[in-house]
Amino acid sequence: MTHLLEIRNVSRRFGGVQAVGDVTAHVDEGELVGLIGPNGAGKTTLFNLISGFTPLSGGTVAFAGRTISGLKPNHVARLGISRTFQNLRVFPNMSVFDNVSVGAVGALPQGAFGALFGALHRRGRDRSAEISRRTWEALEAVGLTHVAAELAANLPYGQRKYLEIARALAMRPRFLILDEPAAGLNDTETRDLAAFIKRLHGQGLTIMLVEHDMTLVMGICQRILVLASGRKIADGTPDAIRTDAAVLEAYLGVDE
């Protein structure tokens, strides 16, 4: 059986710095996987390599049996991998509804003519209806329907995070990558977020999550990958990771 996501011997150098070195890992359909590691371990770089944003220096990435390394981010996104960002990338001067429909539009590509004059023929109208249906559905999933007409810039920080997740969900992804979703949230908000991620996972979505908040990661993930200095040092259940010698060393250092 092939894995949904398969990362083989992936590496990336920035000048003389080896940001990610020879990482091999996989994610199976339906998993909820955590990716942790000390600062500068290469977590975000690994995400960027998967989503096609940063070209690989070596190795391959395959998604659903198809090699995706070398594809542009918009192609990778259309294949079913969507992501959110550590520092948010919502569209501040667009309404919440429009923000999310960009995701739906991005996932349903079509020619320029149809996109311009779609409103004038029946198939185009069906498509518009489909886009607005997916948009409302995603807004409902994150609980932002009541602010749909609001400008994204006017939302509080926590809601902007959910907005970004809604935009990713509107693409109907097979695989969702969340880059530090709990950063900047307080304890209550983090607990709500954990419940929300679990609910998404419960609906059958495969999720990978980078997070500094250990209680969140340990609490919801089925499996955890640990990176340190660009290398994978551990891969296992939360309980195994908690007692792993290499992980403790990477996080706490070794006594001389």
Partner 1 sequence: MFDPYYLQQLAIGLSLGMTYALMAIGFTLIFGVLNVVNFAHGEIYTLGAFAGLVLISATAPPIVAVILGALAIGALAGFSLERIAFKPFRRFTDEASLKSRAMRESTLLSSLAVSIVVREALEIVFGSQMRSVPFDYLINTPVRVGPVILVTGDFIIFGVAAAMLIGLQYLLTRTRVGLAIRAVSNNPLGAKYVGIDTDRTIITTFVVGSMMGAAAGILMGLYYGAVFPAMGFTPGIKAFVAMVMGGLSSIPGAVICALILGISESMATTFVSSGWSDMVAYGFLILTLIFFPNGLFGARRERV
Q: Under the rule (CB under 8 A), what is the footprint of partner 1?
A: 51, 53-54, 72-74, 77-78, 82-83, 85, 87, 89-94, 98, 101-103, 105-107, 109-110, 112, 115-116, 118-119, 131, 151, 167-168, 170-171
| Burial of 163: CB neighbours in 10 Å, binned 0-12, 13-18, 19+ | buried
Closest CB to partner 1 among residues 66, 89:
89
Closest separation between CB of residue 248 and partner 1, Å? 33
Closest separation between CB of residue 227 and partner 1, Å? 20
Q: Which residues of 95-105 are buried (b: 16+ CB within 10 A; e: fewer)?
A: bbbbbbbbbbb
Closest separation between CB of residue 253 and partner 1, Å? 31
Q: How far apart are CA 185 and CA 205, in angstroms?
A: 23
Closest CB to partner 1 among residues 17, 116:
116
Q: Which residues, 6 or more positions from 21, have their beta carbon under 8 angstroms from its beta carbon? A: 11, 42, 229, 230, 231
Q: What is the three-class DSSP state of 2?
A: coil
Name the nearest CA neighbour of 69 among 112, 9, 126.
9
Closest separation between CB of residue 171 and partner 1, Å? 6
Q: How far apart are CA 67 and CA 146, in angstroms?
A: 40
Taken as a whole, the chain contains a residue count of 256
Closest CB to partner 1 among residues 1, 119:
119
Closest separation between CB of residue 181 and partner 1, Å? 15
Closest CB to partner 1 among residues 117, 251:
117
Q: Which residues does residue 179 pair with via DSSP β-bridges, in sequence order?
A: 210
Closest separation between CB of residue 75 and partner 1, Å? 8
Which helix (DSSP H) or strand (DSSP E) does residue 83 occupy? strand 81-83
Closest CB to partner 1 among residues 10, 171:
171
Q: How far apart are CA 208 and CA 173, in angstroms?
A: 12
Q: How far apart are CA 100 and CA 94, in angstroms?
A: 10
Closest CB to partner 1 among residues 14, 251:
14
Closest CB to partner 1 among residues 173, 230:
173
Closest separation between CB of residue 145 and partner 1, Å? 19
- 207 close to 174: Cβ distance less than 8 angstroms: no
